[in-house]
Structure 1
Amino acid sequence: MASKEVEYQQARPKRTGPGGAWDSFVRFLWNPQAKTCMGRTGSSWAKIVTFYLIYYGLLAGFFAGALMIFYQTLDDIEPRRAGMQSILKGNPGMGFRPMPDVESTLVKFKQGVPDNYAEYVEHIQDFLDCESYNTTDPNAVNCDIETPEEGQVCRFDPDKEAGPCTAANTFGYHEGEPCVLLKLNRIYGWEPEPFNNETINEDNDHAKAAKEALGENIHPEFIGITCEGENPGDVDNRGPAKFYPEHGFPMRYFPFLNQKGYQTPFVFVQFKRPTPGVLINIWCKAWAKNIYHHKKDKAGSIHLELLLD
C-alpha cells in the first residue's frame, strides 16, 4: 500500500516596519479571506449607504421646506420690519464718496497730480455709474415739468444738481477744491420732516442747534446739510464750503418705497481753498426734525479727514 505524503507549505513570515504597515493597509482595503472592503462586507456597505441616503434626503427635504415657508413670509418690495421696528429706528445714516478704502475716512491728495487723486475721481464716478442716473426708465420722470403718478419716482439729474462737481472737472481735485459726495442711507417708508421758519424756532435743543448750524439756509422742501470743522483749528483751515444742491437733499425723492427706477439723491459739498499741509477734521450733518446726531455712531452724519498736500 502506497504511503500518502502530505505536503505542507510554509507560511510566509509577516513583515515588520514600513513593509508590514503597507501590508496591513492593503489588507484593510481588501481582505480576500473575509471578503471585506475597509472592514465591511458588501451587504454591510449597502445597508449603511442606504441609511445615509435616506437620512440626508429627509434632512435636505426638511431644510428646503423650512426655507420655502420662510420665504412665504417675505415681501419682494416691503421689508418685514420697518420704521421703529427696523435696526435703523427711523434715523438714517450717511455715507460719502470718495472712500476707496472702506477702513479709512481720509481724503488725501496732491493738487495738480492726476495719478495721486485718480482713485478718488474714479470712485465717485463708479458710484454715479452704479446708480444709473442717466437711465431712461419710464418710471423715473422729470418732476420739474410733470407730476409723478402713483408708483413713479422723480429722476435725479446729476448734470443739473452737481454744479461744478463733475468728472470733466475731476470733481475739483485738480484745482485743489475737492468735491465730496454725501448721501443718506435708504430706509423704507421713512419720510423726513424738514425744518421750516416756524419749527426752526421751537424751544428745544435740536431746533436751536439746527438754527445755529444752518443759519439762513433753511428751506421747507429740503433736508438741510452742513459740513463744519470739528475743532476751532479745523474751522479756520476748512475754508468756504459750497453745496450742490444748495439747500441739501430735495424732499421730492422721499419716501423710498423700493420703487422701480428709484435714484438715490445726493449732495456734493465742495471745499474751497482748504489750507494745504494741514489735516482737517470735518463733521457733515443732515438736518431735519426727525434726524438726530450721535457723536459715537455718527447717526445722521459722517466724519472725514481732508489733507491737501
Structure 2
Amino acid sequence: MLGQHPNLMTTPELNIFVGDTIQQWADQPSANIFCDGLIRTVAQLFFGAQTPQTVQQALDWLQSRASWSVQQLMDALREAAAPAALIDQSPIYMQKPAFLQRILTNYPDARFIHLTRNPVSWVRSMEKWGIYGEEIMRMFAASEVGLTHQPAPLDLWHAAYTGIDRLMEGLRPEQHIKIYGEDVVTRPKEAMKQVLDWLDLPAEEAHLEAMMHPEESIFAGWGPMGARGGNNPDFLTAPQLRTRDDRDDLMTLNPAGVPQEVVELAVQLGYQAA
C-alpha cells in the first residue's frame, strides 16, 4: 500500500539485515524461502523486469558482490529506487533484537513503522501461511535461549514485541510510529494518512486512493521461476486490499488460554481484553 505513493517504494521482504554481508544473507536459514524478495528486487531495479532471465542476472549480480556489506547493498538499492524512498518491510527482523540493532548501526537515523497485530490473530496468520509461517515460527523459537520449555506461539509474539518495544524506547520520537494492522484493514485511508503525515509526504485524496490498490505494485503476485515468493502467501495469491468493518472485534483479545504477560502487553499496546 505505501509503495503506491509516488514518493515511496515498498519492496518484497529483503531480509538483508540478518547478517553483515551479502554472503551471510545468502547463508541465512531457509534461504530457499527468505531470499526470493531480494532477488526479485534486484531483478526489477537493476535489470528492469522480473523474469527467469533477470532472476539469473540478479543471482549473478549478488554472487559477484558476496563480500559487500549490507550497507553497501542497501545503499545501491536506495540509489536505484531514488527519488522514491525505499521501505524494507521484512517481518523476520522481529526475530532478534540484533537484526534491528544492525539496521541502526548502519543507519542511525532509520525510521521504523511498527505494524502491530492482536496476538491471537497474529498466531492464526502464521498458521495459515503453511511452510512459510511454520519456518518463521521455528526461527523465532530457535532465538529463545535459556527456556525450560518449548515456547508456544503466543510466547513468541510476546518475545518479539517486547524486543521491539525496548528498541523503540531508545529512539527519538520522530524515528518511529505505531500503526495497528487492524486499522489498515478497517480504516485504511486514515491509517495511510497517519503514516504520510509522519513522513511529511503529500496526502491528497489521489495519493490515498492509489494506496488502496496494492495489486498495482510491480511486486504484487507470485514472482517468476527462481524467485517465486518474497511476501506472505496470502498477499501473493490475492494482492488486493480486503477491508473489514469489525474493528472493535479485531481489537479485542479473549484472554482465555492466553498467558497473562501476553494479555498485559497487548493491553499496553492498545488492545482490549474481553
**Shared fold (TM-score greater than 0.5)?**
no
**Which bracket does the TM-score occupy, shorter chain normalised?**
under 0.3
Higher normalized helix content (fraction of residues):
2
Query: When the two structures are superposed, what TM-score results if normalisation uses the length of structure 2?
Result: 0.26
Higher normalized strand content (fraction of residues):
1
Query: When the two structures are superposed, what TM-score results if normalisation uses the length of structure 1?
Result: 0.23
User: Bigger relative contact order, structure 1 or 2, given CA contacts below 8 A and separation 6+?
Assistant: 2
